[in-house]
A and B are shown apart, each in its own frame.
Chain A
Amino acid sequence: MANPRNEILEWTEQGRIEQRNLRRALELGEVLPTAEEWRRFLERLLLFMGSAMLAAGVIFFFAHNWQELGRYTKFGLVEALMLVALALSWRLGLDRASGKATLLVTALLTGALLALVGQIYQTGADTFELFAAWAVAVLPWVLVARFPALWILWLALVNLAVTLYFQIFHGWFGVIFGPERQLWLLFSLNTAALVTWEAAAASGVVWLRERWAARLIATASGAFVTALAVLAIIDWKGSGVLNTLAWIAWLAAAYAFYRVRAKDVYMLAGGVLSAIIVTATFLGKHLVQTEAASFGFLLVGLIVIGMSAAGGYWLKNVATEEDR
């Protein structure tokens, strides 16, 4: 897809468009927003910023645990706010941005309510249970909202629940060095989400075609499988073969889908970076611990530079190929 902004800026730099006409050219190329687009943008900005701040304010308020307020007042407050937000969402309808925004607020307030339950009744529940319960509680709304941001919030809650679970049962050391079980679980979770997302988008679900959400999930999936491959190299154990095979399969699948079928240069760039990181780790481990360590460093550095240059060249060609 062409990028009108870049094209017009490049033509002006080349002198094909006079400098004084640049702004008018950008308007004709539909790069700069029209009055109506400005109105729509500001309306959405005020709506989402206002809603997010209001919801955050309520969550902060309950996190403060103000002793002057009785428990029933606190419950009443948060539940009343949830009801108002839910009623507004129902009234406005989920096809409108305002309806979606109020449902997002309701989903955020659900977290405040669950945290309040834990705070008041001292349930002794672990943090991961809060996020897991939160994810389960808002799932029905997520399912009906047809709103990518809400799905991402839900997926983030599940990721947080898994991470906190391992933090509690494995300690901080385990989190930093990523025990394989945790990495496998997070990788599987995000990969399953990505596959489902792409399959649904390909089968014609229009609201799932927003690329930012799929790219965010793919980044998480790619980061976890890359960490698995790096872990296999640094600390080779029996499961190393499985980790390496998973990484290779992920790279091959990403190439097959995002190069051949759907064409998404962002995903391909992620694959190139992953390949560079894993290669550098492998070579670093085997070449810089030899007697000729300094030349090992130089060689790995040059290989990384060569790989990234070749990757950049290839990606630029794929991107340009889309433009033409």
Chain B
Amino acid sequence: MSALSREVIWDRLREGGLAEGELPAPGEGRSPWFVRVMLGFAGWIGASFLLGFVGVGFVFVMKSATASVLVGAAACSAAAVIFRASPRGDFASQFGLAVSLAGQALMVFGLFQWFERSITGIALAVAMQQALLFVLLPNYLHRVWAAWSGTYAASFALLDMGLQAFVPAAVTAAFLAVWLREFDHPRHGELVRSGGYGLALAAVQTAVMHGELWYSWMQARGGAVLFGGEAGAWIGAVTCGAVLLWAVITLLRREGVPLASAVGKIALAGAAILAFLSLKTPGVGPAAAILVVGYANGNRVLAGLGIVALLGYLSHYYYALHATLLEKSVLLACAGLALLLLRLALLKWWPRAKEVGHA
């Protein structure tokens, strides 16, 4: 993967019969990912001051659940109008983002009062609210946020229902389903990618670093009842492994690699090792999936997120409480050795070759 100039790429596309005419004029340009992250942070800072404005200036709004939800919904509607009226305006985008974030916080505040102690009710309502906002508010950064927070809220609902064992598999599957079909809907690319990034962040939070969330949640609630008990936990872990295998098979098929070929077998063996490891070391598989899918789609941001997630998980795993340090050490050492042996197999059965097209 190299970085060719616009002119060289266009010439290649014309020579390959994929494009016609002159090189298109440079568009307004997409902001790099870190500029978007900066705008997201700043949006939240701006939103917190707007919330302060409502909280201090309009106390009655905060005192009434209905008023909170209505004012919040009005703010989100205003943001939708702003985004649609000025889709490319920098100030409008940032203003719309902050107004919508403040509106969402108000709605969540109201929902907490409406549903009182029903975490499932609150979480499902927030998930639906964020799903609606994802569809209705046409702003890239906002959609990333809506997809991320909506998925996170949905995972809380599942957790409260005792289905936490299935959250990593569900979120990882949703993330993989979107990114593995990224190129199937090019006209809706912005929608697919913003949702995909939101799901990637949610996968890091719930599937990679999930131990922290689940255990602190269980402790706070005095022990959430796990659906299916011990068997439920195993079924969830096996499902997560199955998702990984499915993703690798889908990727191999997409890349035109026969499953029975040497390359296919090596890839499947790697996935099987990670799937097996995921039974007791659940964050490794989803993190590796983010890295591999990012690489497969030529997406360095996603691949980088996968690397950060992997390193973060290994550091975090030391403190995870579900296994002793001895069990964890045996698992990690065996998996590490298996991966290194697989590398030797790769060097032997997949020799460095002349370029024979794409894998």
Contact = CB atoms under 8 A, between A and B. Distances in A.
Real binding pair: yes
A49 B187 contact: no
A308 B24 contact: no
Given A13-B186, A13-B189, A269 B38 contact: yes
Contacts of B18: 17-18, 21, 24-25, 28
Contact of A64 (B13, B263, B325, B335): B325
Interface string B11-34: 011001011010010111111101
A307 B45 CA distance: 11
Given A8-B9, A49-B310, A58 B4 contact: no
Given A54-B332, A309-B90, A324-B26, A35 B324 contact: no
B3 A288 contact: no
B329 A61 contact: yes
B358 A300 contact: no
A74 B43 CA distance: 53
B44 to A, nearest CB: 10
A312 B45 contact: no
A297 B46 CA distance: 9
B29 A50 contact: no
A29 B4 contact: yes
Interface stretch (B161-169, B201-209, B348-356): B348-356
Given A265-B35, A320-B29, A304 B49 contact: yes
B27 A10 contact: yes
Indicate the member of A4, A55, A212, A311 with the most B CB atoms within 10 Å: A4
Interface stretch (A118-126, A176-184, A276-284): A276-284
B347 A42 contact: no
Interface in B73-90: 90
Contacts of A304: 42, 45-46, 49, 98
Nearest to B314: A56
Interface string A79-101: 00000000000000000000000
B2 A307 contact: no
Contacts of A293: 52, 56
A2 B3 contact: yes
A49 B9 contact: no
B220 interface: no
A239 B165 CA distance: 52
A3 B3 contact: yes
A46 B37 CA distance: 30
Interface stretch (B210-218, B235-243, B290-298): B290-298
Nearest to A30: B2
Contacts of A14: 24
Contacts of A30: 1-2, 4
A117 interface: no
B346 to A, nearest CB: 6
Q: Specify the main secondary structure of chain A where it touches its partner.
A: helix
Interface string B300-318: 0000100000110010011
Contacts of A25: 13, 16, 18-19
Nearest to B29: A320
A288 B30 CA distance: 36
B35 A312 contact: yes
A221 B338 CA distance: 39
A164 to B, nearest CB: 15
Contact of A52 (B47, B58, B336): B336
A121 to B, nearest CB: 20
Given A3-B3, A31-B298, A32-B358, A60 B35 contact: no
Nearest to B315: A56
Given A28-B12, A294-B57, A324-B26, A39 B336 contact: no
A189 interface: no
A4 B9 contact: yes
Given A24-B18, A46-B270, A49-B310, A33 B291 contact: no
Nearest to B59: A294
Contacts of A51: 336, 340
Contacts of B60: none
B16 to A, nearest CB: 5
A266 B304 CA distance: 15
A3 B9 CA distance: 10
B266 interface: yes
B215 to A, nearest CB: 18
Contacts of A50: 336-340, 342-343
Contacts of A5: 298-299
B340 A46 contact: yes
A63 B317 CA distance: 13
Interface in A98-126: none
A305 B297 contact: no
Given A308-B46, A315-B35, A58 B333 contact: yes
A316 interface: yes
A39 B357 CA distance: 13
A30 B19 CA distance: 16
A301 B53 contact: yes
A132 interface: no
A298 to B, nearest CB: 4
A127 interface: no
Contacts of B280: none
Contact of B49 (A7, A35, A269, A301): A301
Indicate the member of B5, B49, B90, B342 with the most A CB atoms within 10 Å: B49
B39 A312 contact: yes
A4 B3 contact: yes
Contacts of B12: 28-29
A313 B12 CA distance: 31
A301 B98 contact: yes
Contact of B31 (A8, A21, A316): A316
19 contacts: A5-B298, A5-B299, A16-B21, A25-B13, A27-B358, A28-B9, A31-B298, A32-B296, A42-B267, A50-B342, A52-B314, A56-B318, A56-B332, A57-B335, A58-B329, A61-B333, A301-B98, A305-B43, A320-B26
Given A294-B58, A305-B46, 15 more contacts: A2-B5, A19-B187, A22-B186, A35-B353, A35-B358, A41-B295, A54-B340, A55-B336, A56-B318, A56-B332, A269-B37, A273-B38, A273-B41, A313-B90, A319-B31
